[in-house]
């Protein structure tokens, strides 16, 4: 009897502070994957209505509205990537709920096989401090208060790169966070991590709409594929 290989199932959780672009990233990622030549047989098994509602906002040039605090949104997708079956459940959670670090936040970490942590490279000191704080607490929880190594992959992703133009995400990450705290002190607990810079729309949404152009994501799929491949 031939061996039947079961499809890989990966659960990817998305984190980040309020207004960092979690919902936009998630929706435009699904949009981008649906157009890629190496992705086939892609079906949205759960979350289709949510996806279509967000795309309506985006194509109107208004952007995705903030996720409500009580929402824990799930998009469940099955696809083939380069002929390999992959099934992914990707969760989105309101930034305010993530910052509160309540039970839902911890449950979102627990179900993940890999993580995409979105960071806005804003010079605003309040945003910079809370993002470094959240990364610290995230790693603290995953490592059981720094008592064990983190084996699940974590992609740290700078958003809105059409505005910021980051060329070297890893170098920028350390330079951006160092004034608050040297996170290298705790990154020793992580076995697999990587850095990315992406743009969900490839430009200002209102400007694109005024020019009659559709959003064109830049590198948005790269952290996702890296997490899936390394988890």
CA-based nearest residue to 205, from 43, 5, 28, 42? 28
Quote the pTM value. Answer: 0.87
Domains and CATH numbers, the chain: 8-230 (3.40.50.300)
58 contact partners, CB below 8 Å, separation of at least 6? 24, 27, 28, 64, 201, 205, 215
Residue 93 has what pLDDT?
58
Which has the minimum average pLDDT: 101-115, 119-133, 146-160, 167-181?
Answer: 101-115
Alpha carbon distance 130, 126 (integer Å): 6
Q: Which of helix, strand or coil describes residue 169?
A: helix
With tokens 């993580």, the residue in question is 115
Distance CA(142)–CA(151), nearest Å, equals: 9
Contact between residue 153 and residue 230 where contact means Cβ atoms under 8 Å apart: yes
State how far Cα 11 lies from the chain centre.
12
pLDDT digits (tens, 9 = 90+) for 146-188: 999 999 999 999 999 999 999 999 999 999 999 999 999 999 9
Bin 216: left if φ > 0, else alpha if -120 < ψ < 50, else beta: beta
Count other Cβ atoms within 10 Å, centred on residue 113.
Answer: 18
- CA-closest candidate to residue 118, choices 106, 105, 135: 135
SS3 210: helix
**pLDDT averaged over the chain?**
85
DSSP 5: P
Q: Label residue 54 by pLDDT band (50, 70, 90).
A: confident
pLDDT of residue 52: 92
Q: Of 22, 17, 24, give the one whose Cα is nearest residue 129.
A: 17
């Amino acid at each position: 009897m031939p061996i039947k290989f079961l499809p890989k199932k990966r659960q990817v959780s998305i984190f980040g502070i309020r207004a960092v672009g979690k919902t936009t990233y998630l929706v435009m990622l699904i949009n981008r994957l649906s157009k890629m030549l190496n992705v086939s047989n892609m079906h949205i098994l759960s979350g289709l209505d949510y996806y279509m509602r967000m795309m309506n906002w985006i194509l109107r040039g208004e952007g995705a509205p903030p996720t409500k605090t009580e929402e824990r949104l799930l998009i469940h997708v099955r696809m083939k990537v380069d002929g390999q079956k992959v099934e992914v459940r990707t969760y989105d959670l309101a930034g305010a709920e993530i910052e509160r670090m309540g039970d839902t936040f911890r449950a979102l970490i627990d179900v993940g096989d890999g993580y995409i942590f979105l960071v806005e490279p804003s010079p605003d000191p309040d945003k910079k401090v809370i993002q470094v704080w959240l990364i610290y607490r995230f790693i603290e929880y995953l490592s059981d208060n720094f008592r064990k190594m983190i084996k699940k992959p974590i992609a740290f992703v700078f958003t809105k790169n059409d505005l910021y133009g980051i060329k070297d995400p890893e170098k920028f990450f350390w330079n951006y966070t160092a004034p608050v705290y040297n996170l290298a002190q705790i990154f020793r607990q992580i076995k697999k991590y990587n850095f990315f810079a992406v743009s969900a729309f490839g430009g200002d949404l209102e400007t694109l709409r005024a020019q009659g152009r559709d959003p064109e994501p830049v590198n948005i799929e790269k952290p996702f594929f890296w997490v899936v491949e390394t988890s």
